[in-house]
Each structure stands twice: as structure tokens, then as C-alpha cells.
Chain A
Amino acid sequence: MTTPKLQVQNAWKSFPTDKGEQVLAIQDLSLHIQPNEFVSLVGPSGCGKSTLLMMAAGLEMLSQGEIRVDGRLISGPGPDRGVVFQTYTLFPWLTVEDNIRFALKKSGLSRERQDELVQHHIRLVGLGEFSQAHPNQLSGGMRQRVAIARALVYRPQILLMDEPFGALDAQTRMLMQELLLEVWQADRTTVLFITHDVEEAILLSDRIYVMTARPGQIKDEIVVDLPRPRGLLETEGNIRFTELRRQVLSLIHSEAQRAMSL
């Protein structure tokens, strides 16, 4: 077996509350993502899926356990991992082009090489005409496309996406999913994708981890055996898609119910 791109080993995470007690957010969670794999993490609200992603990004410390990227233990954030947040994280004073270039600040690449990469990634997300626009001139979907380009431009080993389309309207969301599929099929960067949208997870992923209600653990793992390349219209009405959807939904449903009755 090859070394996983991302390996989470017996991760625990607890937070102190205002009263000084400890709340357990994640309990003994292990998962792995193989190179070129697109893996989604779904689960009921508050199950700790975003916390897990922040730990993988190196922006939150684990209480116990370890996370490895390419076999190397991570100790903080680094350019081997690209992160796309749910909120808009573009720098409002920079143009689209300069926002993407900002991610290359520490790359040590020549100016020419940087320009090449920036232009390539602007085209990749279809924003060629908007390279000189500022974020306040862009729609929500366009801003997230810039954020994706910016996270890919320094060519990280793995892309960590925390509900990147969560704040978008349904139609934009649909187009963004297709765009992400296209972008991913082009270079097959390894992806960890957090979502609460089951259909989104099935459409995009090779594998789906379903988490339990808090404290978050892996409840089940589902292999999405739908052929690629996929599209929204191809999967619509597909029997296997419907089966998978029912399977994942029922897992989340029972966990959500359990969370409510706690």
C-alpha cells in the first residue's frame, strides 16, 4: 500500500468552555486519503468536521494523536496543504490576479514563473476577464473560484476544502460543483472536502466518510463507485446514485436524531 497523502491517526480534540470544563469535539478519529483521491467528510451539524479540517490545515492543535501529510508529521500550517474556507477570504485590497499571486509570496519562484502559474490558474477557474477586478466587484461564486485558484496555485500536495460552496445559492453551487469536477479531473489533486450536502459529496467524491454526532468519530465509510467523468445531469436519476444517497442520508439522519436527543 502506498503512503497516504493524508493520514489522521487516533485524533482527539477537546475545547475548554467558559466554565472551565472540557468539551470533547473529536474522539479517537482515524482516516486516510490516498494520492489523487477525492474524499468527502459528511456528518450532522456540530460533529467536528470543520475542526478536523482545521487541524489538518495546522491551524488548530490536536489534543492527542497525529496527522501526517505524505508520511511527514505536521506541526503547523504549510504550503504542502491548500485551504479553501467557507467564508470569503480574499484580500479586498488586491485584484484577482494579485490575490492569487499573494499565495506565491514565499514560494521563491521567479517572477516569470509566478506570472505563468497565476495566469494558468485564473484561466483554470474561468476568470480570465476579471484578473484586474477587486473582490467587491465579484459575485460570491466568483470569489470562491478565486479562492480555489489561490489554493491551487502553489500546487499543494492536498487541497482541504471546508464547505467552500456553503454560502452560495443553489444554482451557483451547482455550477461550482461542475467547475470543481473539471478542475480536479485536469490534475487530480488529492482533496479532503467537508460538506453537509450529501448529493454534493456523492457527485464529487471517490470515498465518503460519515461522522457521528459529537464527539465526532467515523461512523462509516462509503465508496462511491460511480464512473467518472461525472456531471450533474449524468448522475441525475442514476439508480446507483439514488442508492448511495439513501445510504448516506440514513446514516446522517440517525446521527442527527441522536444529536437532538442528547
Chain B
Amino acid sequence: MAEAPVPQPHPRSRLLELRHEIPRQYYIGAGAALIALIVLAWVLLTTLGIVPHIFLPSPMSVWQELIRQIQMRILWQDVSASLYRITVGWLLSTLLAVPIGILMGNFRFFEGLFEPLVDLVRYMPAVAFVPLTILWLGVGDGQKFAILFIGTFFQEVLLIMDNVKNVPLDLIQVSYTFGLSKWEILWHVILRAAMPGIWDTFRITLGWAWTYLVVAELVAANVGLGYRIMRAQRFLETETIILGILVIGVLGLITDYLFKISYKRLFPWVVQSR
């Protein structure tokens, strides 16, 4: 039997096939090249004096600022203060969002009970709560937790509700045929099945929490990454501002990466689809 020739796409065009896998070195290389390109542009813009130092400091002076902050232990203080606030604020939000989201996703009663309130508060900008929270809670960490909570919780609870609703009804029905009670199904089936989605929700909401952390620290704080940026603005220390932004970006990237790695470890059974 003669073999029919299989039409092969042109090798060069294969990099841009719809949903087509590409060699790993291209995938990683492309991302690294883009960042390298931006850094190069940064170097050129500053060393050639196209942009004045006060608007955009050179990479070198940002680097020097980093060394200075490390030596004076400023960076360590800021990072630990911010990490502490984000951890507690996000945990408070999550500890409430998980049970309430699960109830909302499983029981129409709880959905009806909470959704109007959640939807209303969700559209209120967390930033606008800053003056009120200062009035209520002062300028300590409690106020930072409150802003993080307001910014995160009302989105997170809806995402978790959706994670739970995404569990196929058939899995629940088949469990009933094995004689399980609804609470047993909730625990052994729905939570298990919803866990990967909930884990992803954690990853996404922690990313948002970084934004609200800076918002909270911009106004009333004497330590923290957001405070450092705000203070630098007053003295036009642009290299401190850029350093602060970069540090937050890197910390966010690390947490995101940790969640992605642990996702693969915890849920190897999830069907990967592209």
C-alpha cells in the first residue's frame, strides 16, 4: 500500500501555528529576549542622555541604590514588613472567602444571601476606604490588613464560588449512588475536585493583594515597600522608586512561581489542555 504524503507545514512557520507546541528554547528565549531588549533600551536612553536622570535613572544608579539599601538593612526591613502585612491580610481574606465561597457555590440559599452584598462592595474601590480605615483602625498594621481584606475578599469569594460550581454535577450524582450523604460528598468529592481551581484562585488573588498592599502603605506607614516609594517621591529619588517597583515585581513573580510549581506537585491528575 502506497503511503500518502503527509503535508508538513513549513518549518519556519511552525513557530506561529495555532495552539502549536514550540521547542522549549524558543519559548524561554523569547521571554528572556524581550526583557533584555527593554533593559537595553533603558541603558541606551539613560547613558546617551536622551532622558534626564531625574525622570529615568540609569540601571547602574538603581543597582547602587539596591546595594545601599541592603547595606543599611532598609530593604530587609521594608520587605519583611510588607511580606508580613500581605500574608496576614491575604490569609484573613482567604480564611473567610474559602468557607463562604464553598457555601455559595453549593447552596443556592447562601448564594442568594451573600451575592448582592458581595457584588455591591466589589464595585467600591478599595482605595476609597483608606481614609475611613485610618479613622477606624489608626495607622498601624490593622489598617493595612483592612485595605488588603477589602481589596481581596470580595473578588476572591466569587472566584471560589465559581471553582466549586465548576465541579461536574455528574460526579456529585454518581457519589449519591454509592450511598454517600451530602456532607460526605461535599468533603470527599466537591472539595477534592475544586481544589486545583481554588489553588489557582489563591495564586491570582495574592497577585492582587500586592497592588492593595502598596495602596495601603502609600498613605500611612513608616516602613514597607509602598512607604519607601511614597517617601522617594517627595525627594524625587527616582532610583528608589524604580527599585521599589522592581522588588515588588520580583517578589510577585516568586510567589506566582511557587504556586505554579506546587500546583503541578499537588494536582498531577489534572488534565492539561492548551
Contact = CB atoms under 8 A, between A and B. Distances in A.
B100 interface: no
Contacts of A136: 269-271
Interface stretch (B53-61, B134-142, B145-153, B177-185): B177-185
B269 A134 contact: yes
B41 interface: no
Contacts of A103: 178
B265 to A, nearest CB: 13
- Scoring A58, A83, A154 by chain B CB atoms within 10 A of each residue's CB, the highest score goes to A83
B176 to A, nearest CB: 4
Interface string A67-85: 0000000001111011101
Interface stretch (A21-29, A36-44, A88-96, A172-180): A88-96
A3 interface: no
Contacts of A92: 193, 269-271
Contacts of A154: 178
A213 B174 CA distance: 28
B84 to A, nearest CB: 34
The prevalent SS among residues of B at the interface is helix
Nearest to A79: B179
B192 interface: yes
A106 B176 CA distance: 11
A216 interface: no
26 contacts: A59-B176, A77-B173, A77-B177, A77-B179, A78-B179, A81-B177, A82-B177, A85-B173, A85-B174, A87-B170, A89-B168, A89-B173, A91-B189, A91-B192, A91-B193, A92-B270, A92-B271, A102-B178, A103-B178, A104-B178, A105-B188, A134-B269, A135-B269, A136-B269, A151-B177, A154-B178
Contacts of A134: 268-269
B167 to A, nearest CB: 11
Contacts of B184: 105
A59 B171 CA distance: 12
A57 interface: yes
B177 to A, nearest CB: 5
B180 A59 contact: no
A209 B267 CA distance: 44
A105 B170 contact: no
Nearest to B179: A106
A162 to B, nearest CB: 10
Contacts of A78: 177, 179
Contacts of B271: 92, 136
A256 to B, nearest CB: 27
Interface string B248-274: 000000000000000000011111000
Nearest to A135: B269
Contact of B177 (A79, A87, A93): A79
B193 A93 contact: yes
A77 B176 contact: yes
Given A91-B189, A92-B193, A93-B269, A106 B170 contact: no
A26 B227 CA distance: 68
